[in-house]
Structure 1
């Protein structure tokens, strides 16, 4: 072994190659190269690597690697038979088989889960449909029973017969409502900024003024052929206040803010308008 190492070392030195350079070329660690030169093959990782390292070393220093291996075949330890290759292959094949089986089992489990869900849904849908059918049948039977019962009650009920002693009662003629004369308030003309109304079917002119908002000045003068103009009322009424007078035969009414009040003559509402302006009226009793 030492002679082989010396041969390789001599060839390296003749080429002027350092161990560092040889390490860079062969990609073999420096301590392994030193062990080959010293013949200390025990340092190397295994018999297989010994032959490979010697071959790479010889090629790097310009020697024929096959010739070197042939000359020193008795010195170089023979490579151990690869006894572990078959178990490794078996393990790999076993692992592949186990992966296949695991994939198959996973697929089977997924399909089983899907089929289980479908079966559960089908069961509940079938049960619901059956329940609805049972309800419809029960309801139909109950309706038929009620119909039969009503028909039997109608057929069993006695038919009323007309009694000869009972005389027909003719309805009494309805009495026509007595019409009462309602006061009639009619606009006759609008002239000189004043509206003239004629009040008929009444003995008095009943004036009713209600202030709806703010306040309004109200002026009432009594006039006529037998008397001169006489002021009956001339004041401002507040919001929500109502005042009522009974006068005859002719009155003159003035509203300071006409749109703020509601005016009634003998129960009839007199149209005023929406303008907040002075409004003048004259009411004559016919």
Structure 2
């Protein structure tokens, strides 16, 4: 057992947790937890996961994961870019690109049908109008071989003077006021330690986006503390999550430096200078 493993096991025992309890809290398999305590990192899926699992273990038993990683960095294997890239799944936004383009024609098709229907109606009305009978002069036979043409009587038009005397009611245009559009507002409620709470109002959809400039570990949970995302995000990648169906999300970023978090394309500021931070966003629907 290494010095780091002994320190973590001592903190776990002080909390009264068994390995099974810790597995339930961190969602890390107990064989990995036992491997951390024994210093047996060969059972882990990669060096990047070793550091991530140690940090989660430390946080769960009340220790500072960042300080432990710094103190015992000589004992812990360092991850490489290749290790991180192997374990990053395709982001939801990339998987959904093909579906959007394939459905585009089906969205336009009903509009094309309606347009053709309107054009057909216009052609029919124009054809009927061209076939209407035109006014022709009436012929009157006088009986002596002469024929007199009479024009149809035109309707009488009132003189301008009479038109001026007729009262004309002015039509008042009814002005319809459009309701004010409520803009999205993100308000910082409080900050305690590495956890900050925001309230989001004035939005219909809730989309979380992380643009990673540096490698980071990402953990997102819903209002029932259910894990929605628990994975590494590599530098240069973008991760998106549609959280519209939830009332709250808790976003934990293992490395905030250089990385950017968006909520509906609005940047969410990290209130502190801590490397690891939790951002709780409450959706006011």
The TM-score bracket by the shorter chain reads 0.3 to 0.5
Q: Which has the higher helix share?
A: 1
Q: TM-score, length-normalised on structure 2?
A: 0.36
Q: TM-score, normalised by structure 1?
A: 0.36
**More relative contact order in 1 or in 2 (CA 8 Å, sep 6+)?**
2
- The structure that has the greater radius of gyration is 1
